[in-house]
Every structure is written in structure tokens, then in C-alpha cells.
Amino acid sequence: MAVDPTSGKKLTFSDDFNGDALDDSKWIVEGKKEAISIVKGGKDKVLRISLVQSADMIQGNGISTKGKFEQLFGYFEASMRMNAYKGHTGYLRLGPADGKAIPNTLVLFEGLGGDSLHPWMRTVNDNGQHDYRPEGKMTQFLKAGEASKKFNTYGLLCSEKSYIWYVNGKQVHKVDRVEMKLPVNITFSHRVAEFERPSLNLKQLPDDVDIDWVKVWK
């Protein structure tokens, strides 16, 4: 039987996005405010992060708990529906408030479209920048179309011994390394980076990223 990453832990933060608007006691908006909305998503409401039509489409829109909530170690979990197409990325990211701090650790789950899910970590320390990604090609952890057609649970377990990534309760990546020295905040974002723009097909929009809920335990 798989180990429950919440076992022995207490809930320290949660949001189900069922209000009429984003709870500004928990979140700040990053990027374009018009890209963030609360919409009907099945039985409940969900947070939607869209892309805003612009000349070059280079943008990063989302929400963060920066200045509202941060935690060192614990289990961070969210129910998300990723984007379906390539050329833009939806992600769940853990990182410190000060992005220039050394040492610095970012822990991410990215939805790259086309069923590609990318669990990885980046550290910056006195020895430079290091990325920790799954070996070989990125793995299709879900059946074709499931990442964008339904909500799936993405979990990040950060401890003093290791970092473990989960999809629907199944471990999909692990790094046996301790680099997290500072408390981290939670960021959900929908991005078009400069390198992605050539692959973005505007006729495939809207192709939103939705978050049903987020929970944190310690």
C-alpha cells in the first residue's frame, strides 16, 4: 500500500476557490489581473488562469501566497486541470519570497501541453545552478488527454531528506537531496515564455489552466 504523504501531519493552509472572488487574504495576483477569474467548474467553482491576447503574447499570469503564507517543508497538494496544447505552460511552483536569495530552491510541476507533465527542481547555491529532472524523456504519467480533460491531483512532499512528486497519489519523481533552506510560498501560473511563442497557436485558445483546490500539511 502506498504511503499517505499527509500521515501524521496537520493542515496548515487550504483554499477551495468557492467564493465569488479570489481571497486576497491568501493570494496576490501576478501578471494580468484580467487573466484571473473564479468560474463554475463542474459541481464547484474553480480558479481559472487564462492567457490574455496581446501583440507578442509573452506573459506570466497567476496567483501566489507571497507575503501571505509560506512554510519550510511539508506536503503541498493541488487539484489542477492543465492546458491541452503546447506553446504555453501551466504550473505549480514552490519557491522563496526572495528569488535572488542564495541558496535558492524552486520545486515545480509543469504542464507543457500534449500530455507532457514535468516534475523537476532547480537549486542555486555557491556552486552555481543545478537542475534535477527525471532521467531520459519526460514521462506521460496519465492516459492521453487526461491532464487537460479532467482534474488530477499534483503533490509535492518536501522534507529534510528528500523531495517527492506525486500524481494522483502515485510517486513519479524523487530527489534525495536537501537544498531547501528558506520557507517557500505557493504559485500557480499560466505562462508563455519567449522560447514557447513560436509553438503557440492562437486558434487553439482559450486553453486555460484551472485549479479546483489547494491544501498544505506540516
Per-residue pLDDT tens digits for 33-74: 999 999 987 678 999 999 999 999 999 999 999 999 999 999
Where do the structural domains in the chain lie, given as residue ranges?
8-54, 112-155
Query: CB-hemisphere CA count at 13 Å for 31?
Result: 23
Given pLDDT bands bounded at 50, 70 and 90, which one contains residue 138? low
pLDDT of residue 1: 47
Given pLDDT bands bounded at 50, 70 and 90, which one contains residue 139? low
The dihedral of CA 71, 75, 81, 83: what is its sign?
positive
Is pLDDT of 144 > 60? yes
- Name which residue leads in pLDDT, 101 or 153: 153
Query: CB-hemisphere CA count at 13 Å for 193?
Result: 8
Question: CA angle 182-120-209, nearest 5°?
Answer: 95
What gap in Å lies between CA 203 and CA 1, rounded to an integer?
45
State the average pLDDT for the chain. 92
Question: pTM of the prediction?
Answer: 0.94
